[in-house]
Amino acid sequence: MSQLPNIREIAEKAGVSTATVSRVINHNGRYSRETEERVRKAIAESGYVPNLAAKGLRTNRTQTIGVVVPNILNPYFAKLVFELQNALFEQKYATIICNTNESAELEKELLATLMAHQVSGVVLISGHSAPVSMQAVPTVYLDRRPEDILYSPLNVVIESDNFNGGRLAARELLACGCRSLAVIYACKPDVSQKLRLDGFRQTLVDTARKEIHSTEIILADGSAACIRRTLAETLGSKPGIDGLFCLTDMIALGTMGALQLSHVPVPADICLIGFDDSPLADLWLPPLTTIRQDAGATARLAASQLLGMISGVRPLQQNSVVPVELVRRATTRATEGKGWFE
């Protein structure tokens, strides 16, 4: 039960005042080289670690960032969180990660908890905007932009170039020779997903070629069973579909599973393209062609903007768009003869 040493003990041990110890720790203020050495020695010998609760109380800076995520079980979000954490830890910030399970109510509760913990900033992947009580906390909206976001020097949005992603997907399918396209998504697309959809539609309109048809497949939910059912129905009523754009990788993998079960060769009969470049996309067989959102770049940008706002820098722009790129793997290369299956 030996109590942890506090700053007073260090001060005593080094024969200085607590103020001096604090100054040495924070490289803040003046002290002689000799004093510094004595203090550092005392710290090292006693294994002293400053109490961040006390520090946070005094300075209102807790060195803690709250990250709110819809579902950490989704590999893409896990990647995003992983990268965020790395970037923040480098700057000595700890990360409190919260799952909302897509529930707006739970999200409110979690944000209140984060406020209680006096987080220095918040990263929100949510699609909702934060309550007014949080306007004083620097916030980065990541990946999903809330519709009713209130712009302020403490709010910033970072999102992938979803519109262009949708366009790239459409072009790739067309380049593979697909003529009857379908886009497939869960019934309540968020703002980001709508942009992907817009980019896709716009591209088809722009090509303005009579022989190209397109339809939309809307899923009641994202489960494998639902995908199988809905896909079977659609393929039954509209035969000839030869290109599918799935608005997320998870849906793409579910779709691929459904196609494999019905012995539809991919990409020979149907080309398939996802969105996210989830770690699974590359692991799957056949590896999924997809639109890559660069989780590392996005997370690093989010971290730097957030830390900037925390240290009082007004963000240069309220809205950053991270480029996306097509990652061509095995589900769109129009191969000769047989595909990966059958």
Partner DNA sequence: ATTCTATGAGTAATCGTTTACTCACAGAAC
Partner DNA sequence: GTTCTGTGAGTAAACGATTACTCATAGAAT
Please report how the helices 162-175 and 191-207 are oriented relative to each other, as an axis angle in degrees rounded to 10: 40
Residue with smaller CB distance to a second copy, 130 or 280: 280
**340 near DNA (CB under 7 A):** no
Q: Is 15 in the site for DNA (CB under 7 A)?
A: yes
* The pair of three-digit structure tokens given for residue 52, joined into one six-digit string: 């961040």
Gyration radius of the chain's alpha carbons: 26
Using CB under 7 A, which of 26, 135, 215, 223 touches DNA?
Answer: 26
C-alpha to C-alpha distance for 290 and 272, rounded to whole angstroms: 8
For residue 277, give both structure tokens: 């470049």
Least distance in Å: CB of 281 to a second copy?
13
CB of 250 to a second copy, least distance (A): 9
How far is it, in rounded angstroms, from Cα 36 to Cα 20? 9
If the CB atoms of residues 54 and 232 are measured against DNA, the closer one turns out to be 54
Near DNA by CB under 7 A: residue from 12, 18, 115, 198: 18
Compare residues 38 and 79 and give the one whose CB is closer to a second copy: 79
Structure token pair of residue 74 = 């989704």
Q: Is 2 in the site for DNA (CB under 7 A)?
A: no
Between residues 4 and 205, which has the closer beta carbon with respect to a second copy? Answer: 4
Q: Where are the beta strands (DSSP E) in the chain?
A: 64-69, 94-99, 121-124, 139-142, 155-160, 180-186, 213-219, 243-246, 271-276, 290-293, 319-322, 324-327
The rounded distance, in Å, linking the Cα atoms of 166 and 24 is: 53
- Tokens at 135, concatenated: 């306007």
Which residues of this chain interact with a second copy, rule CB under 8 A? 1-2, 4, 47, 49-54, 56-57, 62, 64, 72-73, 75, 78-79, 81-82, 85-86, 89, 92, 94-99, 110, 112-118, 133, 136, 224, 253, 257, 260-261, 279-280, 283, 285
Binding test (CB under 7 A) with DNA, winner from 41, 57, 113, 153: 57
In angstroms, rounded to a whole number, what is the distance separating the alpha carbons of residues 96 and 73? 16
**How near is the Cβ of 255 to a second copy at its closest, in Å?**
12
How far is 175 from 88, CA to CA, in rounded Å?
41
Judged by CB under 7 A, does residue 112 bind DNA? no
Q: How far is the CB of 63 from DNA (least distance, A)?
A: 10
Alpha carbons 174 and 242: distance in angstroms, whole number: 10
Which of 137, 120, 141 has its CA nearest to residue 68?
Answer: 141
Report the partner that residue 96 touches, choosing among a second copy, DNA, none (CB closer than 5 to 8 A by kind): a second copy
Residues lying near DNA in the complex (CB under 7 A) are found at 3-4, 6-8, 15-23, 25-26, 28-32, 34-35, 48, 50-51, 54-55, 57-59
